[in-house]
């Protein structure tokens, strides 16, 4: 007899929230407030170079090197251009199907949690976006000290859930970090593919979702 589903774990960026505009555009908007006129294309390129450099040099926000999310991002921004301060919630939009799907999952009697490769600003970002109250717990890669696709971050989530892996589902937009990693520890993994870009031959059709609205009916099949 299979274990009934009791929990759903969620990725955040590009699953529940999306970037409102390009980093270059947002940073230039903030820079303009202090009198700097910059080219968004050049800023975007500079940001990507800085981000990749610090991600390689200090992965997972430099936790193992004594940094935290805030100090890690300050270094990235400083390397992109000086005197630019960006308010993170203003950069993000909630996908139209996010709140409705979270509410639908809760109405099914499911508990919800977050497992995200993000720093510890995530709690405040979700609060500002009106999503925080849906979740019983948040696990960020900064707080966990480990990032997806490591099974260890999902093991931490399972400890908080207090149920077997077979009673937990996970939904995210990244094939390796979300889908394969969650299924490797026995979770019911679902891949969100809003842009129909994932063509993996080993991905069953019922595990691939084109919108979050498709998730609750899939979850109901595992609840009895």
Between CA 23 and CA 91 the distance in angstroms is: 8
What's residue 83's pLDDT? 38
Rg (CA), the chain: 18
Q: Which fold has domain 23-86?
A: DNA polymerase; domain 1 (1.10.150)
CA nearest 119: which of 87, 92, 144, 101?
144
* Pairing mode of beta strands 168-172, 137-140: unpaired
- Predicted confidence pLDDT, tens digits, the chain (224 residues): 678 999 999 999 899 998 778 888 887 887 777 566 778 888 888 888 889 989 998 899 988 888 888 889 878 887 776 534 444 555 578 999 999 999 999 999 999 999 999 988 899 889 989 999 999 999 999 899 999 999 999 999 999 999 999 999 999 999 999 999 999 999 999 999 999 888 888 899 999 999 999 999 999 999 87
Q: Please identify which residue in the block is written with the tokens 């889908």.
A: 179
CATH code matching the domain that covers 97-222, chosen among 3.40.50.1000, 3.40.50.620, 3.40.640.10, 2.30.42.10: 3.40.50.1000
For residues 203 and 178, the answer to whether their CB atoms sit within 8 Å is: no
* Delimiting residues of CATH 3.40.50.1000 domain(s) in the chain: 97-222
Which runs of consecutive H residues, i.e. helices, occur in the chain? 23-32, 40-57, 69-80, 98-107, 122-128, 141-144, 151-161, 181-184, 215-220
In this prediction, residue 45 carries a pLDDT of 85
As annotated, the residues of the chain forming the CATH 1.10.150.720 domain(s) are 23-86
> Which one, of 157, 163, 89, lies nearest residue 121 by Cα?
89
Q: What's the confidence (pLDDT) of residue 2? A: 74
Supply the pLDDT for residue 81.
Answer: 64
Which pLDDT belongs to residue 89? 56
Measured from the Cβ of residue 56, the count of other Cβ atoms closer than 10 Å reads: 8
């Amino acid at each position: 007899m299979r274990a009934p589903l009791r929990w759903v774990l969620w990725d955040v960026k590009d699953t529940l929230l999306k970037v409102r505009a390009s980093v270059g555009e947002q940073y230039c908007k903030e820079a303009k407030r202090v009198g700097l006129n910059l080219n968004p294309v050049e800023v975007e390129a500079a940001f990507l170079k800085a981000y990749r450099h610090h991600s390689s040099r200090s992965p997972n926000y430099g936790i193992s090197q004594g940094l935290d999310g805030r100090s890690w991002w300050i270094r990235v921004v400083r390397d992109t251009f000086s005197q630019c301060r960006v308010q993170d919630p203003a950069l993000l939009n909630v996908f139209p199907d996010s709140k409705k799907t979270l509410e639908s999952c809760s109405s099914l009697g499911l508990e919800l949690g977050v497992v995200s490769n993000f720093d510890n600003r995530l709690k405040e970002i979700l609060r500002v976006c009106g999503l925080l109250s849906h979740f019983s717990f948040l696990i960020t890669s900064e707080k966990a000290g480990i990032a997806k696709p490591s099974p260890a971050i999902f093991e931490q989530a399972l400890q908080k859930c207090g149920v077997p892996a077979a009673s937990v589902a996970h939904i995210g937009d990244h094939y390796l970090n979300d889908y394969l990693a969650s299924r490797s520890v026995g979770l019911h993994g679902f891949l969100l593919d809003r842009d129909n870009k994932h063509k993996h031959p080993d991905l069953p059709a019922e595990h691939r979702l084109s919108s979050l609205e498709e998730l609750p009916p899939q979850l109901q099949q595992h609840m009895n």
